[in-house]
Each structure stands twice: as structure tokens, then as C-alpha cells.
Structure 1
Amino acid sequence: MPRVRVPATTANLGPGFDALGLALELYDYVSIEEAPELEITVQGEGENSIPRGPDNIAYRAAAAVYARVGRKVPGFKIAFENHIPVARGLGSSAAAVVAGLVGANALLGYPLPQEELVSLAARLEGHPDNVAPALLGGLVVVVLNGQQVYYQRLDPPPGLSLQVAIPHFTLSTRVSRGVLPAMVPVEDAVFNLSRTALLIAAAQAGDLELMGKAMEDRLHQPYRLRLIPGMPYVFEAALKAGALAVTLSGSGPAVIAFCRGSLPKVGKAMKEAFEEHGVKCEVKELKPASQGAILC
């Protein structure tokens, strides 16, 4: 019975909206095997909210692999042991999709190459900036062009540490994307394009200071302010405490501070700023995950 370990992810990294993702050392574990009928169990994060029927996204992913290779879709027994908070911007749904794909591919003897798993994951999830690093690990640049996915994986720069403030409320991607404008000024588009390019160059060079300077955004974070109480104050507190940069993690509400080495005072400052605005949260110190989904 395959047991898949899948990392959490943080998408966008500020300016790289829908194009950048980073795997994190926080994991879900999903076991999958064929069974006479569908049986899903969940322990940990999301145990009271994750669907147990055919709408479960790990099941849908596993079924997609079987259908892709022309095999009849069986029932499955799927067991989740979840540590990634659900609907907080840390890639929990991407992790479930990837676990279903990798587990089903293993059950069938690995008929699908990695490239096809990335493509299937992007179609199922809709946003490849989470599923690509969940599959591949590291820092991933990804482009969805119709049905084709182009991507490049990079090793995370050494010395990077992350303080993650995770509010005790959920925020769906649908709601968070719903506040974004259909059109943006050209100068804002150029602002983000230039910083995304600089961010990738700095990451490749291992220049954490320059990475931090490149992680500004005008395309999505300003529009999401009203969805996350105290967000600008949390950003300010993280920077004053020594963070190189601070961004929303994916569509939020988690806020992630990028630091040189371990800086727990940054996490403490973010937590205090959230609580001053009536938001309880927990803080995790994480590192980038070089390894994506694996069987364990």
C-alpha cells in the first residue's frame, strides 16, 4: 500500500502571482490502496471538513490516473494524516491532489512520467504554482499555457528560513481571488514583472538580501487587505523585527516572513500584531523543502 509524503507549499512569493511556488518542510501523509468501495479516513488538520465521498480531491486525482492509462477506476481506501492547515494558503488541496496522483501511479507500476503528473495536477487543481513544488520540491517557476505546463525547478537558496503566521480562520481561494480586479495598470504589471525576474535571479545567486528587496507586489496583496484583519500591521511588524521580506502565503490568510536563519522574534512580532487586531494565530518556523512528494 503506497504511503505518500507531500510537502506544504507557499505560492506567489510576493510578485510571482500564479507563477512561483516554494515547497515547505511541513507534510501530509496519505495512504492509498484499491478496495471494493470508496473509504476515506482523515486524522489531523481538516478532519471535520474534508469530504469523504467521490468529491474528495485525492480520490479524484487517483481516478484521473487510472482513467489516463485506460484502467477501470476501482474503489479506494484512502487514509489522510494531515499536518498542513486547510484553507490557509499553504497548499493543502494541492498536497491532496499530488498524493492521489503519486499514490495511484505507484499502485499501477509508475506508468506516468513526472511531466504528465505535473500536467494532470495542474488541470485538477487549476493553479500549478502549488502543485508543481508539491510534486518537485524546491522553488518552482511554472507557466500554464492552455493544457501545457512549462516549469523549471530551482534549489532553494541556502540559509533561508521562514516564519509563518497562521490565523485561526479559513479563507477560500475562490473568495480571495474574487476581490482581484479584471484589469490592472500597466505600471503595476511592470512593477511585478521586474521584481519577479529579479527574485529568480537573486534566488539562483543565493543572494537573500536581494531576494528580500524583490518580493514586493501590486497585483494581488493590496486587494486582499480587507479580507485579513491587521495584515499591513503584521507585514510592518515582521520587517521591523528583522525579516528580509514578508508576503501573503498563496491567497492567505497565512502570512510568511522570509528570514536569514532562525528568527523566532519575527514570528512573535507577527503573532502579536495579529492579536492586536483581534486575530488569533499560531506561528511555525519552517525551512524550504528540497524534496517533493515521495513514497515513505
Structure 2
Amino acid sequence: MIKVRVPATSANMGAGFDTFGMALKLYNEITVEECSTETQIKLVGGKLDNNYSKNLTYESIVKTFEYCTEKYKGFNIDMSKADIPMSRGLGSSAACIIGGIFAANELMGKKLSVDEMLSIAVSIEGHPDNVAPALIGGMITSIVKDNATIYSKVNIKSNLKYEVMIPDFKVSTYDARKVLPNTYSRNDVIYNISRGAMLISALNNGENEKLRYAFEDKIHQPYRKKFIANIDEIFNKCREFGSYGEFISGSGSTLIAVVDANNFSFNTEIREFLNTLASNWKVIELEIDNVGAHEF
């Protein structure tokens, strides 16, 4: 029996559309064991998945076994402990994929390298921005070239925490991508390149005062903000309460404010403000996870 813990992830981080991703200390736990009978998957609340062949974790386990040309019959999979909210832009699908791949690799005696596991994950997810930090931990920059994923872990010297604001409504990833334009002006492209580069440099140098500019974006957030009610008011309040920067996590609906680790009033202040809005918001104060997926 293998028990795997996988962190939540936040992709894009402002200017890093489909490129930057960060693991956070919020986890799903997956237990997997091989069996000689039909696969059984336990979901949150103890409910059984009656259509397990379309379950992302199961699919990821099977693809990993097939990649290694290993035979299998069935699996008992327990996914009942899941703290990562679904369809909120915090990498719940990436956690399912990485959890399945990591568990399968452990069951087979650790045949695969990190790069091989990541390659399988990208083949399922379609892009590396969430699956890379879920597997490796930390903040990851990644690109795909000729079906290979090239990634680098950012050395963050800043002493930061992340105020994760999760509403009671979802944003469809399909709709969030559909709303984006097919082309961008040269000025908008330069705008994002400069901010993305500044974000990496400022985090690496501990230049927190420059983060205010580094999270700005013109590629996806201006088009997606219409799906998140009160986003401008929320971001304005975050600045008022001392955040260094704010961004839409993934395609939403979660918002994240980046705050100094010694700012002890922000959490209470933003909670009080969010309670005045029509939607219900949950605020979780998290740190970056630098470990990634691991057996426990």
C-alpha cells in the first residue's frame, strides 16, 4: 500500500500565463494498493466512484504502468481526504494526476525519474504549469519544446505568505480560455515579458517592494476578471491592507494576495471585508510547499 500527499498549486501568477506555477501547503492524500479484483475508488465522504475508468487518478496510474510495460489487474484507491477545492484554480486535477503517477511509480519500485513522471503528467494535463510544481514543489517555470518539458525551480529569498481567497462559485476553465483573444499587441507582449522577468528576479533577490509591479498582467487577467464579482474592490482592499501583489489563481475563481510573513493583520482585515460581499469567501493563509508530491 502506498500513501501519497500532493500539494495544491497556483498557476500563472499574474504575468506568467501557462508558464509559472507554485505549490502551496494545502494537500490531497491518495492511498493506492494493487488488487486482483476490479478497481474500487473511494471518494470524499466515502462515496464509491462507479465510473472509475474516467477517474483522473486511475487514468494516471494506468498510463504509468503502461509506460513501464508493467501488467496490472485492479487497484484499491482511496481519495477521500481531499483538502484542495475542485474547480477553483488550485490545481485539483493536477493533484489527481500527480498522485496517480507518483503512487504507480512507487508501486513499481521507483522505475521512473522525475522527468519521466513529469512527461506522463504533461501528456495527460496538456501543459506543465500545475503538474510541475505539484510533483517537484516550490515555484517552477516551465516550457515545452518538441514534446519535452524543460523546467527550473525559482530560488525565492523573500519571506512571504499567501492569502488564498476561495469563493463559493466556480469559473469554468473552458470559458476562461475561450474569452482570451487570439492575438495580442506588441506592447502587451512586452508588458508581460518585462513583468514576468521582474517577478523571477525580485523573488530571487528578496526585493519585495518590486513585487507590486511584477504581478501585473495584460494577457489573461483583464479578460477573465468579469467572471469574478468584486475582483477590483478585493484587490484594492488587499493593497490597502499591505499586500505586495495580487493575482487570479489559475483561471479562477480563487484569488491570491502575496503578503509579508510578518503581516499579522492582513488575514483578519481581508476576511472582514469579504464578509460584506454577496458571495461567500473562505480565506486560507498558506506558505509555499518546497517538497512536492511525497510518500508518507
CA distance in 2, matches of 1:189, 1:17: 11
Determine if contact 1:165/1:267 at 8 Å carries over to the other structure: no
Alignment coverage as a number of residue pairs = 294
TM-score by length of 2: 0.94
Structure 1, 97-106 or 116-125: larger mean CA deviation: 116-125
Residue aligning to 1:23:
23
Structure 1 pair 187–284 and aligned structure 2 pair: CA distance change class (3 A): same
Structure 1 pair 6–229 and aligned structure 2 pair: CA distance change class (3 A): same
Residue aligning to 1:60:
59
Residue aligning to 2:185:
185
- 1:25-104 to structure 2, matched below 5 A, reads 25-35=25-35, 36-43=37-44, 52-80=51-79, 81-104=81-104
CA distance in 1, matches of 2:184, 2:48: 35
SS at match of 1:7: strand
Residue aligning to 1:141:
141
SS at match of 1:180: coil
Structure 1 pair 132–71 and aligned structure 2 pair: CA distance change class (3 A): same
Structure 1 pair 159–49 and aligned structure 2 pair: CA distance change class (3 A): farther
Deviations 1:7-66 (A, max 9, x none): 11111110000100111011110011112211111226xx88987511111111111111
Residue 181 of structure 1: how far off its partner (Å): 1.0
Q: Mind listing any 5+ residue stretches in structure 2 that lack a counterpart?
A: none
CA distance in 2, matches of 1:264, 1:43: 33
**Aligned residues with identical type, % of pairs:** 36
Deviations 1:80-104 (A, max 9, x none): 1101111101111101100000000
Structure 1 pair 275–183 and aligned structure 2 pair: CA distance change class (3 A): farther
Residue aligning to 2:286:
286
Q: For the aligned residues, what is the CA RMSD?
A: 1.9
CA distance in 2, matches of 1:49, 1:195: 45
Query: What one-letter code is carried by the residue in structure 2 that aligns with 1:241?
Result: F
Determine if contact 2:90/2:250 at 8 Å carries over to the other structure: yes
TM-score by length of 1: 0.94
Residue aligning to 1:129:
129
Residue aligning to 2:216:
216
CA distance in 2, matches of 1:219, 1:94: 23
Structure 1 pair 254–49 and aligned structure 2 pair: CA distance change class (3 A): farther
Structure 1 pair 156–29 and aligned structure 2 pair: CA distance change class (3 A): farther
Query: What one-letter code is carried by the residue in structure 2 that aligns with 1:68?
Result: Y
CA distance in 1, matches of 2:124, 2:203: 29
Determine if contact 2:41/2:48 at 8 Å carries over to the other structure: no
Query: What one-letter code is carried by the residue in structure 2 that aligns with 1:24?
Result: L
Structure 1, 85-94 or 120-129: larger mean CA deviation: 120-129
